Amino acid sequence: MDDEIMRYRDKLIRQAQDLPIWERKCLTVDEAAEYSGIGRKKLRSLLKKKKCPFALSDGFQLLIIREKLDEYCKKHKRI
């Protein structure tokens, strides 16, 4: 992955640690499960889909873009 993207990702993670979950841009699977009420296994299965609209990966860790997860949940009544 490009160094600039990695630095930006690291910066977001550092900043996110000080914010409440509902204000964070990116969430871990555990944080997203707590925030959304969706189970961790279900979130991981959604993240593995090729065109998952809220997935962000650096090759090692899957992160969830909170705003896009919110949009996805609004569009899909049943997940």
Domains located in the chain, CATH noted: 3-75 (3.90.105.50)
- Residue positions counted in the chain: 79
Q: How confident is the model at residue 16 (pLDDT cuts 50, 70, 90)?
A: low
HEC assignment per residue over 61-72 = CEEEEHHHHHHH
Say whether pTM exceeds 0.75.
no
Helix (H, G, I), strand (E, B) or coil at 30: helix
Two tokens, residue 37: 């009420």
Token output for 16:
């996110």
pLDDT given for residue 53 in this prediction: 94
Q: Which two tokens stand for residue 12?
A: 């977001």
Is the pLDDT reported for residue 25 higher than 90?
no
Write down the residue that tokens 């705003």 correspond to.
67
What is the per-residue pLDDT across 28-50, written as a single tens digit (0 to 9) for each? 999 999 999 999 999 999 998 98
